[in-house]
Structure 1
């Protein structure tokens, strides 16, 4: 049996405007069922443990409604504190998006350590939408930046602008621009269409529409 760890933000406010933040609901719900349908075990960890905040719940979306009524959602609301996790127990780690992550994972030393160890041990690393913010500032054993020369994508500046996510007030930086600054080879498609980039054991998706496909690509790599 394969084991996946979802690493989730604990931050509920973002920007100088103190806008509601957290994980994007569908970016956990959709991938969760892709993994569960393949009989994978999914565990949840967050920066401080306990009940992570979320945004974007839509009861008209069947998968959202199914997940919020599920045992998986109950377990998510008792998430492990990340510092208690033994990453060697997992085949893959996954970072769902949400604006909260742009605050509590960009420079978190434990997040950087976990990503470094997962990458260097050949574990699959997935991230979607704002989730790739967790991949920033990861230094590998040889001193190089994880992102240098990697094919990566994320939520784009065009999508931030459509969502009226203004710099400072809502978001601390433009994620696509920061990924490029750190050496990523950034690619994308039209706003809010599904798009996934794969580079070795790293899988990144552009937006909420990409979340299921990130999980499916991760499954392909795990079973390869």
Structure 2
């Protein structure tokens, strides 16, 4: 049996402090069911532990509604504090998106160490939408930047503009620009269409529509 750790933001406001933040609900719900339907176990850790904030819940989405009524959501609401668990016990780590982690995971030394350790030990790392923000500022053991030369994607500047996520007021930086500044080879598709990139043991998805596909690609890598 494979064990997946979802690492979740604890930040509930962003930008000027007035814009709601947290994890994007469907970006946990959709991958969660992909993993458990294949017999994998999923645990949840957040920066502060406890109940992480969320945005974007839509009761008309069957999967999201089912997750909110599930034992999985109950466990997520009592998430482990990231600093209190042994992340090396997991076969893969996954960073769901949402604006919150653009604040609490950018320079978090524990998050950086977990990503470095997972990557250098051949564990699978997945991230979707704003989740790849967690991958910024990671230094490998040899001193190189983790993102240098990596094929990657994330939520795009065009999608931020469509969602009226203005710099400063809502988001602290444009994620696609920052990924490219750190040496990532960035690609994307049309706004809000599913798109996944796989480079070695790293899997990234562009937006909420990509969340299930990221999980399925992670499962493919874990299986093979």
TM norm. shorter chain > 0.5 = yes
CA distance in 2, matches of 1:58, 1:18: 21
Alignment of 1:1-224 (within 5 A): 1-224=1-224
- Taking structure 2 as the reference length, the TM-score comes to 0.99
Deviation at 1:85, TM superposition (A): 1.4
Deviation at 1:212, TM superposition (A): 0.0
Structure 2 gap ranges (5+): none
Aligned length: 224
Structure 1 gap ranges (5+): none
CA distance in 2, matches of 1:43, 1:157: 31
Deviation at 1:17, TM superposition (A): 4.7
How far does the alpha carbon of each residue in 1:146-187 deviate from its partner, in whole angstroms, 9 at most, with x for none?
000000000000000000000000000000000000000000
CA distance in 2, matches of 1:223, 1:83: 29
RMSD (Å), alpha carbons: 0.5
CA distance in 2, matches of 1:181, 1:85: 32
How far does the alpha carbon of each residue in 1:180-214 deviate from its partner, in whole angstroms, 9 at most, with x for none?
00000000000000000000000000000000000
